[in-house]
Amino acid sequence: MNIKDLVGKVPVELVESLDKRGISELTPPQKLAVEYGLTSGKNFVVAAPTASGKTLIAEIAMLKSVMWDRKKAVYIAPMRALVREKYNDFKKDYPYLKIAMSIGDLDSLDRWLEDYDIILASTEKLDSLIRHGVNWLESIGCIVVDEVHMLDEQGRGPTLEILISKLKRMCPNAQILALSATVGNSKELAEWLSAELIESNYRPVLLEKGIELDGKAVYDTGREEQLESKNKIPEIRVTEDTIKKNKQIIVFYSTKRNAEAGSERLAGVVSKYLSLEDKEYLSGLSEKILKVLGRPTLQCEKLAKSILSGTAFHHGGLVNEQRELVEDAFRENRIKAVCSTSTLGLGVNLPAHTVLIRDLTRYGERFGQEYIGINEVTQLFGRAGRPKYDKTGRALIIAKSKAEEQDLYNRYILSDLEPVTSKLGILPVLRTHVLAFVATKFLTSEGSILDFMGSTFYGYQYSDNRELKNMINEVLAELEEWRFLERRGSIYNATRIGHRVSELYIDPLSAKWMIDSIPKITDDISILFMISNTAEMRPYVKATPEAEDRYLEYQSMVDNSIARYEEGESMFYDPVKPFSTALMLNDWIAEKVEREIMKDYRTTPGALFAKVTNADWLLYAGMELAKLSRMNTVKLLEMRVRVKYGVRKELMDLIRLEQVGRVRARMMFDNGIKKAYDIRKPESQEAIRAMFGKDIANRIITQVVEVKEGEVT
């Protein structure tokens, strides 16, 4: 179907945008969607491979909703990186529309969103907005749920399922589109959403899936290929073969450490194929990577060194700026090989000619090493093949023997996708959402909650609700006991503090633990242990010998408390792990160098800063709970400032100045500038100029001293 055939069915601006992007024909899934009534407002589940054109199906529905129906369109994705990517794409393609991205503060109503046509949001953020009572839900005409297979994920899945179920009820006339490349039971999902189902195997680039053994690849197309490299190490062998074809490769590993080690291993072979232009570009990129943090960590140095050789690693331990630099350089074909954990397997558009999954098992606390599922492997395979550059893409798994080759072929190449199942029937999950139901007055009785749960995917998949009824009764009793809910007859109402817990978007168990712990606070570590021993700070860092020794001093905080996580996780609960996390944060506010913190706690810059961000949020939540409980918040406020900036108490006055971080503040303090008002002294100003240079000195000094033009030189 030619895009000209869409004229009269969709806004002309959409047709013009497609023409400018060089899109003249609809893909088979797009053509089916239009023929099945996409523009008439029907719900759709689109189950099709990566790069098959699912996003354009969403665009057609969204543009029609916004430009013809004068309704809002909402795009939901589980990962912030994917939301950012789609936001940038939509802004570029439709500059005349008011497009907003909302992924940040979970304790904000974001009233400004009322004025926007298209709103892109993460799952948790949109759920939080609903909890805060946004007033524009009725104006939504189209809802797009990307990566809907995440319903199957135990961490994010329940919130996504509750959100979809809420929106179905709150926006009954809105069109819903659910998109995924990996849903084994797409028909069941479509029935739940009362949606038309589009299933397609179409890919713009042919994908060959195969097994590599001893330098020979056998593909599902029947083709066999002898690799051009004779290297004995399989991942190097496949990488060199790819580079010799003048193509790029992504190699997937099970852990951050393996990905980093893989990048080092591949560097030797990749560097031989770099042009002088590549080397010049990568030299500048390496410098940028090194300077992202104030002081480069060992990981920064390792990544910068790999990049000089045309390789890089990519995982959740990198800070955002480093990840984006790596992704951009790969898109520009400067970095030839990326060694990644599954961070590149979901959502973010970063295709390569070849995908190699080196590690097919992953360690889990319950069962040890386990094979990863066919859905995840399919998702990773989906990165193979670059539209506009490749006619084929190849996705390979490594086998160590002939017997394993056959086993892996049957397990991953021939197997059907696994069904998506609801993960909603878990006590901690229900506790969080039941409180939100009541706090927002969305549902206020046991009967209405049960009725709503029957409309969820869980209710659709499990018709017997006796177990669910028992869990909901238990949750309601628990929340009432903790004084987050109160009951009058059959009707529940949230107490003032229960309402605030729901708005703060924290687990009620975490809130109860903090309320009980605040009176027990004695020192810095006790505050940090209070916020670390919560669900929101998971995964905890590994227990250290120091933590095991020192934990006994703080054991009374946990004794007789409720800070134990149930429903299958209690058997792994070890308070020494969150206590180790507290000690790591304590080292951070003691101004310990990041490099040493990484080494001592076996963590990464990205993981450390994620913990710092979570700690900031939890300290804010603790302050809000303390106010409502009429407890003093001074210590929590002070700790929040120190955690945010990573400083000792004596630097709190200096750190509030722009251009002054933990390193500069310490340098100023050690040079006799103890407080901001000390900057008024001429000798202090001279010292600042000597330390930081004229430009930065000028910016610091003018915040405290009114400087006449030309005075600071």
Contacts of 675 by beta carbon, 8 Å cutoff, 6+ apart? 653, 654
Distance CA 533, CA 591 (A): 22
pLDDT of residue 617: 96
Domain shared by 188 and 215, yes or no: no
Number of C-beta neighbours around residue 623 at 10 A? 19
pLDDT of residue 80: 86
419 in any annotated domain: no
- Print the domain residue range for 169: 3-199
Domain shared by 691 and 591, yes or no: no
Rg (CA), the chain: 27
10-residue block means of pLDDT along the chain (713 residues)? Answer: 90 93 94 95 95 94 96 94 92 95 84 94 94 94 96 91 97 96 94 96 94 96 94 95 96 93 95 96 96 84 96 91 93 96 75 94 73 92 88 94 94 93 87 95 96 94 86 95 96 97 94 94 95 92 91 83 47 80 97 90 88 96 95 95 96 93 94 94 94 92 71 44
End position of a domain, from candidates 163, 180, 199: 199
Omega of the bond prior to 204 within 30 degrees of 0, cis?
Answer: no
Least Cα distance to 60 among 73, 48, 77 occurs for 73
Kindly report the three-state secondary structure assignment for every residue of 32-64.
Answer: HHHHCCHHHCCCEEEECCCCCCHHHHHHHHHHH
Distance CA 156, CA 152 (A): 8
Domain shared by 557 and 611, yes or no: yes
Domain shared by 458 and 354, yes or no: no
Contacts of 130 by beta carbon, 8 Å cutoff, 6+ apart? 137, 163, 166, 170, 440
How many structural domains does the chain have? 5
End position of a domain, from candidates 503, 530, 562: 503
Domain shared by 273 and 336, yes or no: yes
pLDDT of residue 571: 40
Cα dihedral 385→388→390→396 (10° resolution): -10
Contacts of 273 by beta carbon, 8 Å cutoff, 6+ apart? 243, 244, 310, 336
Domain shared by 374 and 433, yes or no: no
Give the CATH number of the domain where residue 641 resides. 1.10.3380.20
Domain shared by 242 and 375, yes or no: yes
Least Cα distance to 219 among 435, 394, 45 occurs for 394
Query: How many residues in the chain?
Result: 713
Domain shared by 12 and 142, yes or no: yes
155: tokens are 């961490």
Under 8 Å between Cβ of 233 and 293: no
311 in any annotated domain: yes
Give the CATH number of the domain where residue 210 resides. 3.40.50.300
pLDDT of residue 347: 60
Distance CA 316, CA 338 (A): 14
pLDDT of residue 713: 39
Domain shared by 190 and 130, yes or no: yes
72 in any annotated domain: yes
Query: Which residue matches tokens 């790591």?
Result: 584
Note the pTM of the prediction, 2 decimals.
0.90
348 in any annotated domain: yes
pLDDT of residue 480: 97
Q: Give φ, ψ of 512 to 5 degrees.
A: -65, -40
Domain shared by 464 and 388, yes or no: no
707 in any annotated domain: no
pLDDT of residue 567: 41
Domain shared by 398 and 446, yes or no: no
pLDDT of residue 438: 97
pLDDT of residue 565: 47
Domain shared by 547 and 663, yes or no: no
Number of C-beta neighbours around residue 493 at 10 A? 14
366 in any annotated domain: yes
658 in any annotated domain: yes
Give the CATH number of the domain where residue 663 resides. 1.10.150.20
End position of a domain, from candidates 181, 199, 217: 199
